[in-house]
Chain A
Amino acid sequence: MSSFPYYGPADIDALNAQAVTLLKLFKAKGYDRQEPSVLQPAALFLDRSGEEIRRRTFTLTDPSGSDLALRPDLTIPIAKRVVESEPHFPARISYNGPVFRHESKGGKPVQFFQAGVELFGEPDKAKGDAEILTLAVEALRAAGCTDFTIRMGDLGLFGALVDALQLPAHWRSRLKRHFWRAGYVETLLDRIGHGDETSRLPQDEKDIAALLEAQGDAPLAGRTRAEVITRARAEAAEVLKLDGNVAGAITRLLDISAPIAQALADIRALLKTAGIHLDAGLAAVEARVALLQKLGVDRIEFNAHFGRSMEYYTGFVFELRSKDGVELAGGGRYDNLLELLGAFAPVTAVGCAIHTERLLATVKGAA
């Protein structure tokens, strides 16, 4: 496929017709369409997103010197609008339009269409997850795609698991922060399990302050003196001890990638080994499975390590794939994004984006 897609009359008509079908379904479920501009202030993506999004974002400078970006997704501009307009919650928004992403490997299109939905401020998270998941399944079927599998994970489950461990707070947040990175969490766990983290800082607060003074005119570089001292004290005080068996059980748990029934059985067995109870978290996963089965989706894979490369997801994550393994739609919960964008209070958020060109190609291929 070309890096620069060109849509002939038949292609664009088919894509538009599919978009009309999807948007009609979203509208019927209470999701009204919004359309942020294609060009956005670069800072919206660059300041608040991680480097992974930044790396893939096209930026340019306008003649007056302002930095602009071609939107790499519609979720962030829509979420920003929600923060600024403070709508009545829960707010339901749909969209359909092109997004732009740099691909380091050549041959992939740098522009493609996405249709999606976002649900903001629904206090019942299980209800919100179910609504978006149902809508994603219905959307694929409305477009004529009936043969697909679902892969899901839950970053919240891992968070609950980490909270149950006897670890210093910053180690817990470190583990949670890196959940989405295959391999790295295992390295961290291995380090904790072997207890090789020994502090080189003095234990006494006075000594820590004296050590800072001894650095002379070295700049504080954006942090306050209090920030440095507080973290130094936490580091000095920490004693890392995690039973090697527990660390091992978590590592094996993160490795689980299996059909849902098998995955749940494996998770339960490993939790038992580690002596950790996660009943609420597992019940949430089971509720989603029951919902999918009711919807007639029975090929469900659970991947305990499944985060997404876009770093803002915080809870339930899923993707729908064609029978050939092509990712057609993906989404999940991202409860922290609105605060990062300037909201004064937490706003729950869950959404889903459909790669409409792949969906169209899949439906055509099956016909």
Chain B
Amino acid sequence: MSKPKETKLVIAIPSKGRLKEACGEWFAARGVVLEQEAGSRGYRARFAGMPQIEVMLLSASEIANALLAGDVHLGITGEDLLREAAPELEGRLYLAAPMGFGFADVVVAVSRAWIDVSTMADLDDVCAAFAATHKKRLRVATKYAELTRSCFARNGIADYRIVPSAGATEGAPAAGTAEVIVDITTTGATLRDNGLKILDDGVILKSQATLAASLTAEWDADARAACEQLFAALNADYPALSAQL
């Protein structure tokens, strides 16, 4: 990517919604002020008094990809999106610190009418019985294909298939496009409204906004110095992160 000459470090933060607001508040509470860059249509910002750091405003899911591609050094986005984009973090991403906002759980949910199913072991039985009876695999609708795969593998479930879902995943069982869903929830109200329940051991990830570092970005001496300066201004210390870079 092209960057202004003085830029030594790029950090990506969410460009819209609740995560954007919470991020802004988090920095403001530590005395670091975000200033929109003129003419950038809201895609770029700077921290006041830190010209060597560029702030990119990206959608929460793009931030995970930008970190993996090494386009940005640091990023703040949901842990769910980071882990979904990079099932194997080693050598690619370092999750430096949870931010204390943007809480949400990635969960396995089934219809409440499945009164005989309350655990992943039950779901495993039902998947196998479904394959034997209906001669096809039970479908799991989700936008978290990787998280679903690793969770189902941990629980020994093999007889299923993932149906990618772009939105309104909670409606899939009623619509008949999938039997089970893996989705994100904060209060569980949307799931309940759709006649669904979370399995007792069906919480795949307790996610929150997370500060992550790209291990594939170019971390030269200038970038590391700018990073240290940012952390000093935030009065934050991530020694484990510094050791990684």
Q: Which A residues fall within an 8 A CB radius of B?
A: 46-48, 50-52, 54-55, 104, 170, 173-174, 177-178, 181, 184, 200-201, 208, 211-212, 215-223, 227-228, 231-232, 235, 311, 340, 342
Contacts and interface: CB of A to CB of B under 8 A. Distances in A.
Nearest to A224: B133
A61 to B, nearest CB: 12
B118 to A, nearest CB: 7
B112 A51 contact: no
A212 B115 contact: yes
B46 interface: no
Contacts of B173: 219, 221-222
Nearest to B134: A222
B161 A221 contact: no
B166 interface: no
B217 interface: no
A219 B174 contact: yes
B115 A228 contact: yes
Interface string B166-207: 000000011010011000000000000001100000000000
Contacts of B116: 201, 228, 231-232, 235
B126 interface: yes
Given A215-B115, A228-B115, A47 B195 contact: no
B113 A228 contact: yes
B138 interface: yes
Determine the main DSSP class of B at the interface with A. mixed
Contacts of B226: none
Interface in B78-92: 87-88
A340 B135 CA distance: 6
A50 B138 contact: no
Interface in B7-33: none
A220 B113 contact: yes
B113 A178 contact: no
Contacts of A228: 113-116
A174 B124 contact: yes
B241 interface: no
For the complex of A and B, list the 9 residue pairs with the smallest distance between their C-beta atoms, beginning with the closest: A218-B195, A50-B158, A232-B116, A218-B112, A221-B173, A222-B179, A218-B113, A221-B111, A219-B174
Nearest to A54: B161
A173 B126 CA distance: 12
Interface in B83-132: 87-88, 110-116, 118, 121-122, 124-126, 128-131
Nearest to B154: A184
A137 B195 CA distance: 57
A219 B133 contact: no
A223 B125 contact: no
B159 interface: yes
Given A51-B149, A52-B158, A217-B195, A211 B128 contact: no
A51 B129 contact: no
Contacts of B144: none
B53 interface: no
